[in-house]
Amino acid sequence: MIFEDLKKYQFILASKSPRRQFLLKDLGLDFEVHTKDVDESFSDDLKAQEIPLYLCKKKADAFDGELNENTIVITADTIVWINGEVLNKPENYEDSVRMLKLLSGKMHEVYTGVCIKSKNKSKTFHSLTKVYFKTLNDSEIEYYIKNFHPYDKAGSYGAQEWIGYIAVERIEGSYFNVMGLPLRELYEQLLDF
């Protein structure tokens, strides 16, 4: 483990996302995956970063009363934000096509909210990355959806997949944030926690 001061802690990643699990493992943390069924609805009054901040805190609060002195739970939620609209995970093929057409040729924002919680304290933070997409044609969108099934991804795409290779012109901010976990920020927050 790379953080000597954190060896005394047991970490729980409350996420089924294989990408978050992969990233946290590569950061050097030993952790267990433990998730709770949490209602992920939110008020229409919430905008941009307020949405993932609210949801990651809600996911962490589901562990109230279960954490001991040396357990830290990490929760996260990622959204895509464009033209004042949130793009969560697509509901079906048609919704996936709609989202990718909306992103095509434009800049969108990816927000990830992260909550770090122990028995006695809690800290939430967010990361913002701006992603610029080239204009996609219908056959590129169809190929991506049919071959990569991006139904578990906010905005209906994974930057680490084929669509990221051909569509992302540039990003401003953390690439890992677009994958669902802003590693540099998480590392610094854990050291400070």
Query: Residues with catalytic annotation?
Result: 77
Q: What amino acid occupies position 61?
A: D
Token pair 């909210």 is found at: 113
Token output for 162: 């084929």
Q: Per 3-state DSSP, what percentage of the chain is helix, strand, and coil (rounded to 5)?
A: 35, 25, 35
- What are the DSSP E strand ranges found in 34-188? 71-82, 85-87, 107-117, 122-133, 168-172
